[in-house]
Amino acid sequence: MRSKRLNIASSEDGNSLVELAFFLPFLLVVLMGVVDFGRAYYLAIEVAGAAHAGAVYGAQNITDTAGMVKAAKLNSPDVSGLTATSSWGCECSDGTSPSASCTMTPTCSVNVVYYAKVTTSVLYNPIIMPFQGITSPISPMTLTGSTTMRSASE
């Protein structure tokens, strides 16, 4: 009888289940973090791509700021809450003397070029919520994208 008691006391049948119970919450938090990072990275790529699409349209239609905004928003239809702003202007080809909307044409010793600039942004809310011991939630962050493209003519 004594040998049977020792055998039960030294049995390791439930150790794997206990280890799993300890580490499963940690693994789930890490998995949530990976998924959250993936969502944020995807949105950042979409926001940057939208700014690029708006600037490409703007390089071809330099004064159509409403068209630039529309092109940016049409490029990312699955991103809700995307905001876009656009502007255009002219500057010297070496990047000096910028003039918004070409109110004053810069005097350059080099060529004058036109540019279109589109900036996009979206508010991203992380899915990771505060856990016990953390006093404040992870705050929402703004993901932005900005592209400036030059055009040879107005």
How far is Cα 30 from Cα 24, in angstroms, rounded to an integer?
10
The answer, yes or no, to whether residue 93 has pLDDT greater than 60, is: yes
How far is Cα 149 from Cα 46, in angstroms, rounded to an integer?
18
Domain ranges of the chain: 15-129+136-151
How far is Cα 55 from Cα 134, in angstroms, rounded to an integer?
42
How far is Cα 106 from Cα 61, in angstroms, rounded to an integer?
21
List of residues 6+ apart from 60 with CB closer than 8 A: 151
pLDDT tens figures, 2-59? 555 555 555 666 788 888 889 998 898 889 888 888 999 999 999 999 999 999 999 9
The answer, yes or no, to whether residue 131 has pLDDT greater than 60, is: no
Q: In the prediction, which pLDDT does 17 show?
A: 86
